[in-house]
Amino acid sequence: MGKRLTKRNEDYSKWYNELVVGADLAENSGVRGCMVIKPYGFAIWEKMQAELDRMFKETGHENAYFPLFIPKSYLSKEASHVEGFAKECAVVTHYRLKNAEDGSGIIVDPDAKLEEELIVRPTSETIIWDTYRRWIQSYRDLPLLINQWANVVRWEMRTRLFLRTAEFLWQEGHTAHATEPEAIEEAEKIMNLYADFAENHMAMPVIKGLKTESERFAGAVETYCIEGMMQDGKALQAGTSHFLGQNFAKAFDVKFATKEGKQEYVWATSWGVSTRLVGALIMTHSDDNGLVLPPKLAPIQVVIIPIYKGLEQLDAISEKIKPLVKELRSKGISVKFDNRDTHKPGFKFNEYELKGVPVRLAVGQRDLENGTYEVARRDTLTKEVVPMDGVVAKIEFLLEDIQKNIYQKARDFRDTHITKVDTYEEFKTILEEKGGFISAHWDGTLETENRIKDETKATIRCIPIDDEREAGLCMVTGKRSERRVLFAKAY
Amino acid sequence: MGKRLTKRNEDYSKWYNELVVGADLAENSGVRGCMVIKPYGFAIWEKMQAELDRMFKETGHENAYFPLFIPKSYLSKEASHVEGFAKECAVVTHYRLKNAEDGSGIIVDPDAKLEEELIVRPTSETIIWDTYRRWIQSYRDLPLLINQWANVVRWEMRTRLFLRTAEFLWQEGHTAHATEPEAIEEAEKIMNLYADFAENHMAMPVIKGLKTESERFAGAVETYCIEGMMQDGKALQAGTSHFLGQNFAKAFDVKFATKEGKQEYVWATSWGVSTRLVGALIMTHSDDNGLVLPPKLAPIQVVIIPIYKGLEQLDAISEKIKPLVKELRSKGISVKFDNRDTHKPGFKFNEYELKGVPVRLAVGQRDLENGTYEVARRDTLTKEVVPMDGVVAKIEFLLEDIQKNIYQKARDFRDTHITKVDTYEEFKTILEEKGGFISAHWDGTLETENRIKDETKATIRCIPIDDEREAGLCMVTGKRSERRVLFAKAY
Ligand SMILES: [Zn+2]
Ligand SMILES: [Zn+2]
């Protein structure tokens, strides 16, 4: 505390790292690439989980739990799937430790080698489809709509808190359907659900689209995604929903009897969002003073700070505050009354600013005399004096207004940083000088996509779904293009 | 469905396994010792989690998340701790797979060997105390009251669904305190919280006590526990709370500056309950017809089954039911209206009996004419005809009454199966013929404890805390004993 953050326009990446640690969200652990999510950061994730879980259940999904470990042979069954994950697998090979005979300490017991190695799940399609083979016999067993909240491990070489960690927390939905259109409808429904959550809870505008073949999930026929834009103009993939076709049903031999008595392979989807969303939340709204949190996801929505000399004044303030706290809580608003006598008000102001608490009330002796509170909002950093009588209504208004305001601000930024370009020269210039998303024509080939990536580091974030289609010519090769796609540098 | 369960008095263990699978709670997976928790079983665990989480937060605890992996050197730092867990550790040794050069398939890449092996956490004291060293500098940082919901792995050789699995889900609390009495108070507070949860939510009576030295958690100074009695008279340890002294603070060098400026080691506790509780719940209440669930933890509290011929009758019933479902839900009661036309009412009756739904409503054409419902309760298997007007009050009464009734039934069973004995002969006879808990004098030595265990398979479940102390003579050696302790065979 007290130490100021690096400014965003000096070094965005440094600002991010300092903020994550300074606001007590997370930190690196002694285990390579694995983070510790601290209570304040975890409370944000819990709020995300609660809302997403409600949305999943409302759309007919149930939670279940599948094993952490995946036998190597399972992972190998779907060819493109194992291809995609083999390079980043944590592998369990032994099941016992022992004391070294030479007294040098604890070692892995060579006699306790597993017959078949187990992979710590990087995602659970294979273990789940091995299970679904037992659960699905008939059309009556479909659709099967299941979600799991779990930890997964992908051995990434370069990690960053929340954005890319070897272990992360996520939810993964895995559904099974009798028909192709029904599975596609599910994949699209979830993409829309994610977009709804991102926009209305995280206050983060997103663009819905399809991934190109090279960016698809390993094993998917089609990958739907939502893409957000961070304050540095880079894209962040915030959620993906995959139509898996019959790939996993075939790999794990999952067939069902149709109404007509035929045996057919089952159609599948899978979809997930992770603790990465916390990183997206931070980089969408926060400023040089610290976090800015949308009220709907803020662990503390209102903080009340007493300004006093001596215990007598603190007592008087506490008495006054008690019914206010009670009333706010009865309305479902989370309030913290910070009466610590170990820290000065100024210190507390900075702390809650850094932690992004949306609304701050300050109350001192003069406020008691005047029947007022000083009310400050985190998003605009403005404050005003409010009569005690109207303070609850004021707070309710502010919580809604801040939610709207930071969405609109992020939306305006995003919209002014999507640039249509028609030549590759312009593309490179915009990418370097302005950044953001670039809407351009592309000839649909992997070759051109890779060339652009190699030369500029920009990737195709998605083929937008809500765009009007407009034919044209590829900015690189001049070949025909059916529609513009969105390019950006990405997290 | 349809197939009857083995009766409890024929083969209790077989009855349990059939019930867990038959009621769709869980099943074995393709991974040795790891279970799949199916949606209905997971919904019970979610209800347990929600209530426990509320209780933890109400007592000042916060959630956080620590890495899945523990470097081998961390686990080795506390001598008795590693001693206790070394024999059942899943060990990650590599971080990549590759295609075998001889084309034989996917193999572990020998070039991707970790410098230091990682253990999949069997419990998290070591990684957490390594973290606490960074978080704790001064008495102002204490107490630190943290909980984590997580999966853990202990490579058990003999596993049983919910009761003993290689991977299980649990919560683990880890707290840090400035003084020894405060840490002991925390450990006792959590034991009482667990007992409250077991008795008032699971409707499972428990005995609170201390473990003997040989049954203590590896690394603990004192282990508090709650012990339940299953219907076969065997004990089940349902939760433990450990006072860890300064063992982990010393192993990980965690000191704090006192108010007076001295450097002192921190005092610790840790505590946990797991998915094992689902097994305990099953074995406390269920009968030869299936599950009996306490209403407070039942995923479906009320099921409504229409009895009809033709769509017209079903429509009439559905119209009548709609406002009832709405009213029950508005009171926070979970209701399912099972209008599937693929199954007959009799099939549905059996299904919800097997699944332990506390209250069942049936409604047919005659009920519509008479303005009645048939209401059945799962615990007593009795039913009665109730006027529609009074049905909501009736249901509310039944949900409370079933909760009380199954607790009292379990309590009566438990109380009549605690036997005081004074000779070792009598001990053996009671253990074999009646079973249950045996209250006897013991001389306090490991030698005698081991002898009893070897000869009878009974262990000391706990030194009860709420007992009146009564001195006597050890039933085996005749040496002095300060108090009776509780013996039983255990899960
Ligand atoms: Zn700009
Ligand atoms: Zn008996």
What digits encode the pLDDT tens for the residues B271-304?
A: 999 999 999 999 999 999 999 999 999 999 999 9
In chain B, residues with a C-beta closer than 8 Å to the C-beta of A75 are: 97, 106
pLDDT at position B359 over 70: yes
Q: How far is CA B251 from CA A107, B129, B133, B265, in A?
A: 19, 9, 11, 10
Give B158→chain A minimum CA distance, Å: 14
- Tens digits of per-residue pLDDT, A310-356? 999 999 999 999 999 999 999 999 999 999 988 999 999 999 999 99
The identity of residue A49, as a single letter, is Q
| DSSP string of A28-65, one letter each residue | E-SSTTPEEE-HHHHHHHHHHHHHHHHHHHHTT-EE-B
Residue of B14, B22, B16, B28 whose CA lies nearest to B353:
B22
Average confidence (pLDDT) over B195-205: 98
Measured from the alpha carbon of residue B231, the closest ligand is 2
In chain B, residues with a C-beta closer than 8 Å to the C-beta of A91 are: 92-97, 108
The identity of residue B317, as a single letter, is I
CB-nearest to B68 from A76, A89, A167 is: A167
CATH class of domain segment(s) B418-488: alpha beta
The helix-helix angle for B424-433 and B446-456 (nearest 10°) equals: 40
Element (H, E) at A362: strand A359-364
Measured from the alpha carbon of residue B233, the closest ligand is 2
- Global ipTM: 0.96
Assign A82 to helix, strand or coil: helix
Of the pLDDT bands very low, low, confident and very high (cuts 50, 70, 90), residue A70 is very high
Average confidence (pLDDT) over A205-215: 97
Q: Which residues of B455-470 are buried (b: 16+ CB within 10 A; e: fewer)?
A: ebebbbbbbbeebeee
Question: What pLDDT is attached to residue B397?
Answer: 98
CA–CA gap between residue B343 and residue A151 (Å, rounded): 38
- Tens digits of per-residue pLDDT, A350-391? 999 999 999 999 999 999 999 999 999 999 999 999 999 999
Show the tokens assigned to B430. Answer: 């009671």
How far away, in angstroms, is A233 Cα from ligand 1 center? 8
Cα angle B44, B47, B48 (rounded to 5 degrees) comes to 90
Question: Matching CATH topology for B12-70+124-285 and B418-488?
Answer: no
Question: What pLDDT is attached to residue A448?
Answer: 97
pLDDT at position A157 over 90: no
How far away, in angstroms, is B104 Cα from ligand 2 center? 59
pLDDT at position A3 over 80: no
Q: How far is CA B365 from CA B40, B313, B314, B319, in A?
A: 31, 7, 9, 13
Show the tokens assigned to B114. Answer: 């970790």
Mutate to test the interface with B, among A92, A121, A159, A252 (most CBs of B within 10 A): A92
* Sequence-ordered list of residues with C-beta below 8 angstroms from that of B454, at least 6 positions apart, any chain: none
Q: Write down the domain spans for chain A.
A: 12-70+124-285, 300-397, 418-488
Of the pLDDT bands very low, low, confident and very high (cuts 50, 70, 90), residue A393 is very high
Q: How far is CA A450 from CA A385, A439, A443, A457, in A?
A: 57, 17, 12, 9
Give A66→chain B minimum CA distance, Å: 5
B183 close to B268: Cβ distance less than 8 angstroms: yes
Of the pLDDT bands very low, low, confident and very high (cuts 50, 70, 90), residue B479 is very high
Beta bridge partners of B177: B267
Average pLDDT, chain B: 96
In chain A, residues with a C-beta closer than 8 Å to the C-beta of B39 are: 62-64, 146
Beta carbons of B120 and A68 less than 8 Å apart: yes
How far away, in angstroms, is B417 Cα from ligand 2 center? 6
CA–CA gap between residue B128 and residue B271 (Å, rounded): 13
- Tens digits of per-residue pLDDT, B368-413? 999 999 999 999 999 999 999 999 999 999 999 999 999 999 999 9
Beta carbons of A91 and B74 less than 8 Å apart: no
Give A291→chain B minimum CA distance, Å: 19
- Tens digits of per-residue pLDDT, A173-207? 999 999 999 999 999 999 999 999 999 999 999 99
Question: What pLDDT is attached to residue A469?
Answer: 87
Beta carbons of A34 and B69 less than 8 Å apart: yes
Beta carbons of A63 and B43 less than 8 Å apart: yes
Beta carbons of A96 and B153 less than 8 Å apart: no
CB-nearest to A69 from B31, B45, B131 is: B31
pLDDT at position A9 over 90: yes
Average confidence (pLDDT) over A62-86: 94
Beta carbons of B94 and A91 less than 8 Å apart: yes
- Tens digits of per-residue pLDDT, A255-283? 999 999 999 999 999 999 999 999 999 99
Beta bridge partners of A336: A303
Beta carbons of A91 and B93 less than 8 Å apart: yes
CATH of domain B12-70+124-285: 3.30.930.10
Assign A138 to helix, strand or coil: strand
Q: What is the reported pTM?
A: 0.97
- Percent of all residues in chain A with a pLDDT value above 90, rounded to a whole number: 95
How many contacts (CB atoms, under 8 Å) link A and B? 189
User: Which CATH code of 3.40.50.800, 3.30.70.1380, 2.170.150.70, 3.30.450.70 fits the domain covering A300-397?
Assistant: 3.40.50.800
- Percent of all residues in chain B with a pLDDT value above 70, rounded to a whole number: 99
Assign B366 to helix, strand or coil: helix
Residue B469 per-residue DSSP state: P
- Tens digits of per-residue pLDDT, B450-478? 999 999 999 999 999 988 889 999 999 99
Of the pLDDT bands very low, low, confident and very high (cuts 50, 70, 90), residue A431 is very high
Residue of A230, A286, A195, A243 whose CA lies nearest to A437:
A230
pLDDT at position A62 over 50: yes
- Tens digits of per-residue pLDDT, B107-124? 999 999 999 999 999 999
As a whole number of Å, the CA-based R_g of chain B is: 26
- Percent of all residues in chain B with a pLDDT value above 90, rounded to a whole number: 95
Average confidence (pLDDT) over A48-67: 98
How far away, in angstroms, is B9 Cα from ligand 2 center? 11
Question: What pLDDT is attached to residue B469?
Answer: 86
CA–CA gap between residue A184 and residue A175 (Å, rounded): 11
Question: What pLDDT is attached to residue A342?
Answer: 87
How far away, in angstroms, is B158 Cα from ligand 2 center? 28
How far away, in angstroms, is A425 Cα from ligand 1 center? 19
Average confidence (pLDDT) over A467-474: 91
Question: What pLDDT is attached to residue B1?
Answer: 47
Of the pLDDT bands very low, low, confident and very high (cuts 50, 70, 90), residue A419 is very high
Give me the residue label for tokens 């943290």: B146
Of the pLDDT bands very low, low, confident and very high (cuts 50, 70, 90), residue A491 is very high
In chain A, residues with a C-beta closer than 8 Å to the C-beta of B167 are: 67-69
CA–CA gap between residue A268 and residue A180 (Å, rounded): 8
Phi-psi region of B286 (alpha: psi -120 to 50; beta: other; left: phi over 0): beta
Mutate to test the interface with A, among B80, B97, B118 (most CBs of A within 10 A): B97
Residue of B491, B475, B487 whose CA lies nearest to B435:
B487
Measured from the alpha carbon of residue A430, the closest ligand is 1
pLDDT at position B2 over 80: no
Mutate to test the interface with A, among B36, B88, B111 (most CBs of A within 10 A): B36
Residue A398: CB atoms within 10 Å? 22
Residue A33: CB atoms within 10 Å? 22
Measured from the alpha carbon of residue B417, the closest ligand is 2
Which residue from B minimizes the CA distance to A69? Answer: B31
Average confidence (pLDDT) over A383-411: 97
Average pLDDT, chain A: 96
* Sequence-ordered list of residues with C-beta below 8 angstroms from that of B131, at least 6 positions apart, any chain: A29, A30, A36, B66
**B8 Cα distance to chain centroid:** 21
